[in-house]
A and B are shown apart, each in its own frame.
Chain A
Amino acid sequence: MQMFSTLLMKHISIQVITSDLPSASVILAELNSFSPDTRPYAEQALPEIPGRRFRESYTQAKTRLDKIASEVGFAPTSLSDGVTPISEGELDQANQWLGVAWETCSGFEETRRRQHEERVNIDQLETTLANFRNLHIDLGRLQGDKHFLETHIGMLPRTQVDQLRDALGLDRYLLFPFMESENETHVIIVGANDREASKLQSVLDTAGFRPLEIPPELHAEPDTAKTRLMQRREAVKQAAQALEQAISAWSAESRQTLERAAHILHLAAPYVALGEAARHRGDLSRLQGWVPADDLPSVERALDGKLPSAFVLEARDPTAEERPLVPSVMRHNPLLKPFSALVMQYGVPRYGEVNPTQLFALTYILMFGMMFGDVGHGAVILGAALLLRRKLGSFTAFGITAGLSSMLFGFLYGSIFGFEHILHALWIAPLTDPLYMLTVALLWGIGFITLVTLLNILNHLVQGDRLGALFGDNGLLSLLLYAGLLGAGYSFYADGSIGAFWAVLAVLTLIGIFAHKLIEQDASIGERILVAFIETFETITGYASNTLSFLRVAAFSLNHVALAIAVFTLADMMGDTGHWITVMLGNVFILVLEGLIVAIQVLRLEFYEGFSRFYSGDGRAFKPLTL
């Protein structure tokens, strides 16, 4: 039964000597079974939270290591040494070393930034010079001290130009923009040389004005100036190469120490992750958390064998009030991993709630096959999944099962790459009897909705909510109402009359649901009646529309054949080569487009028509201490 629900959990509290806390955290992290419970507890008896300094040191060290790793391209290798707890002294030492190392790396980064800026400056200067050369204006003449005129050539952010022009105008300077690049504007500032230079300089600094250093020999020897610029560019290039070499050398030289630091941080992480789940007073500490009941003996054994001093472990079942806080653990066969991932997209099951992964996997694969039944297309999906298994990872199983299901239904429908006459249909070719296909889909839908409603009743009973199981949305009364409506509908279809039994069943359950909705609300009588009426009406329309929604299962199987017919009709209009090209391209089209649509439609049926009826998905994920 455990495979259809979350694992049973135990709340444990472990009392240890404070100095053993880091060891305890590492031992628990190795087991991968302990999720810290950070609710406040025993604040009077154990007023302090241990390891505040340790955590601060860890955070700083981890940030430093991450920054260094990104700067020098360092990726730590997996743990090779033994698993031992980390002392505060060891962590501090590592942090200190990482601080020094980051200072070096930060220097590399700053140098790289400056080199980039220098490259940009040279580019800008070259563009400026070329611009002036074309205009036959000697820029060299504009710079240098003049008797009556003060000139400045440089760049500033585009957004500042107007404001600076106005500001300089107040000091009787003129500003002329002469070129614009991405974010910068190149300007010349001119004014009479009879004012305090410091005033102008102050405004220019404030505006982020960057003067352009014009080579002095520009006027007399333009070629020398050009060569000088080229030399500058070459020098920057060489400096950049030297920097990269220095970074590589430093990285190689520091690799071992970096590995050691990464190792220390790795082992320190569990103690940090304990957070407020651990409390202490003096030498006595306590930590609390959640453990799957099955893993409790191994937790006890591990602590017994590895913890240096004595400890006291107390375990208990979660209380009724705690249930919403208990993390949900589900352990699946690896084949179910991709389906579990899709279920998690909807939400984590509540503790004790039915785990829908198996049901989801089975019904998803069946519906996919029903809607996309084709031996050839299924084989392509299967082959693609096998070929791309490295890239797909755990989702390979998803592709394989979907492909196999598609092939199975392909044999049942007698369809291979859209050809309906090559294989003999083991069951039925969908287009030969569409009404039969629609009936099967409808029955499938009724069965599916009945099953998920039963699961919802079960979920309520597990949570101890008998009233909800009986009267709530998708409770027993709703299910009986559904049965009454279906029975009445079928009687009307078969005999032309509704049938007294079904009519009475439907009306009585309807009254029951309406009465419950009337009672459960806390509002004025008028509002209660209105809301109860609307919600009861919604229950009926919900069941009706959800059931009809399953007609798409048949509709897509018919659609698959119809698309194939369209492709063959087009192919028949072509010559021999064109015929086969059209058939091939048509099949690719069907495979990609229809395959994708079917995959999404099935997911929609699962989530909207299925999960929304029984699965709350608002549980807490199990986040164990890990190494």
Chain B
Amino acid sequence: MSSHRNQAYLKTRVAVLSARLLSPQEIERLKGLTLNQLGETFDLLPIFEEDIDTRQKSRLVEQALLHRLMRELSVLLRPLSGRSRGLLLYWPRKFELYNLKTLIRGKMSHLEMEEIRDNLYELPENIRLPHESLLQAENVLEMLRQLDQGPYALIARQARNVFEEQHETFSLDAAIDRLYYTGMLRHANITDSIDKRGLKKVIGIMVDQQNILWLLRYRLVYHFAPSEAYYLLIPYGGRIQRDNLMELANLEGLETIIDHLPAPFQTLLSDAENITQVRQRLDRTVSVELQKLMHYSPDAVVSALSYLIIRDMDLMRFYAIIQSKLLQMDQAMLDEAVPGDAMDATTMEAVT
């Protein structure tokens, strides 16, 4: 996207949309609202008023929030063409890959077609898998044969291995995630962005977050061997590079791993007691770092991509608040799931 007019348009759009991002104070305020008040804020009242069970309501809310995100994406895509457009269009493919995971797992678990369908994201035509034909497949092998014919042949092979050898699906999930981030990097490499460094930083931030969380889960929860844990990670993060990642995979214990993380992760996570706390702090850090890129990157595409990622995280937080209200969880549990103001000072200090 070389045109100055398009850059200016996109920058303005991002600036206007960024007013919708949720500050920690806003998150705190939302946590204090009732379900109906939340519904009014995000036009979700009709869903809450429908005569359906909690699970269906939760599902509809999730879809509504995703549609909101996709609408914003389509606004940001308007001035873009060529590779920049391709890059921004690639980002939401993660939802398509979530769907792919759901489809494969659903078929492997012999779930009914309707049950699988209920758990799929409704996505715009241009980033959607041919769900219907995959859903109509009557068993796993048939679905994998269909996947064999398209861009997911490698995933199909991995899935077949998992299915035939009765393995856990971690390798499959990891392969899908790696496929996504590799694609993202490929797009970043070929785009004519004037801020490639910024762009790679955005991707690096996402990969680092993913790697830290999954490394901890593989090593501490599932007790995988270092080699297997490392194999399932993505070896091209932002601050955590290949050698670093190998070293981390060889360590034991939460504290030891955190102690060996590079800055600013080490300071940020130093007193984290469990993986949930690690996730929350990483989420907030990612948000702060991406906000900086959104505001200061010279390339509007980088700003737009950063905005979309933060917005997605915000909507996820908002969704967690709605879910807690729907399930009538108490305030303490909600605070634990969606920390607001309290954590912000620590995060800001660590990041800056």
Chain A positions within 8 Å of B, measured between CB atoms, are 59-60, 63-64, 99, 102-103, 106, 109-110, 113, 157, 159, 162-164, 166-171, 199-200, 202-203, 205-208
Q: Please give, as numbers and ranges, the residues of chain B lying within 8 Å of A163 by CB-CB distance.
A: 231, 235
B249 touches A170 (CB 8 A): yes
Q: Apart from A59-B136, A200-B227, list 20 A-B contacts with CB within 8 A.
A: A103-B138, A106-B138, A106-B141, A110-B145, A157-B154, A157-B157, A159-B182, A163-B231, A166-B230, A166-B246, A167-B227, A168-B227, A203-B225, A205-B161, A205-B165, A206-B167, A206-B170, A206-B171, A208-B157, A208-B161
B250 touches A170 (CB 8 A): yes
Give the complex CA separation of A168 and B141 in angstroms: 30
Known: A106-B138, A206-B167. A167 touches B145 (CB 8 A): no
Give the complex CA separation of A171 and B231 in angstroms: 12
Give the complex CA separation of A376 and B132 in angstroms: 55
242-262 of chain B: CB within 8 A of chain A: 242, 246, 249-250
B225 touches A110 (CB 8 A): no
Helix, strand, loop or mixed for chain A's interface?
helix
Q: Does any Cβ of A come within 8 Å of B232's Cβ?
A: yes
B231 touches A207 (CB 8 A): yes
Q: Distance (Å) between the CB of A624 and the closest chain B CB?
A: 25
Q: Please give, as numbers and ranges, the residues of chain B lying within 8 Å of A106 by CB-CB distance.
A: 138-139, 141-142
Chain A: CB-nearest residue to B179: A159
Q: Number of contact residues on B: which range applies?
A: 20 to 34
B228 touches A202 (CB 8 A): yes
Q: Please give, as numbers and ranges, the residues of chain B lying within 8 Å of A162 by CB-CB distance.
A: 235
Give the complex CA separation of A339 and B228 in angstroms: 66
Q: Distance (Å) between the CB of A3 and the closest chain B CB?
A: 38
B161 touches A203 (CB 8 A): no
A166 touches B242 (CB 8 A): yes
Q: Please give, as numbers and ranges, the residues of chain A lying within 8 Å of B142 by CB-CB distance.
A: 106, 109-110
A99 touches B138 (CB 8 A): yes
Helix, strand, loop or mixed for chain B's interface?
helix
B228 touches A206 (CB 8 A): yes
Chain B: CB-nearest residue to A167: B231
Give the complex CA separation of A338 and B227 in angstroms: 67
Q: Does any Cβ of A come within 8 Å of B106's Cβ?
A: no
Closest 5 CB pairs of A and B: A167-B231, A206-B171, A167-B227, A63-B136, A170-B227
Known: A170-B230, A170-B246, A205-B167. A113 touches B138 (CB 8 A): no
Chain A: CB-nearest residue to B114: A56
Chain B: CB-nearest residue to A164: B231
Q: Please give, as numbers and ranges, the residues of chain B lying within 8 Å of A113 by CB-CB distance.
A: 145, 148
Known: A205-B167, A206-B228. A60 touches B136 (CB 8 A): yes
Give the complex CA separation of A64 and B228 in angstroms: 41
Contact mask for chain B residues 138-160; partner A; CB cutoff 8 A; 1 contact, 0 none:
11011001001000001001100
Q: Distance (Å) between the CB of A154 and the closest chain B CB?
A: 13
Q: Distance (Å) between the CB of A224 and the closest chain B CB?
A: 31
Q: Please give, as numbers and ranges, the residues of chain B lying within 8 Å of A168 by CB-CB distance.
A: 227
Q: Does any Cβ of A come within 8 Å of B226's Cβ?
A: yes
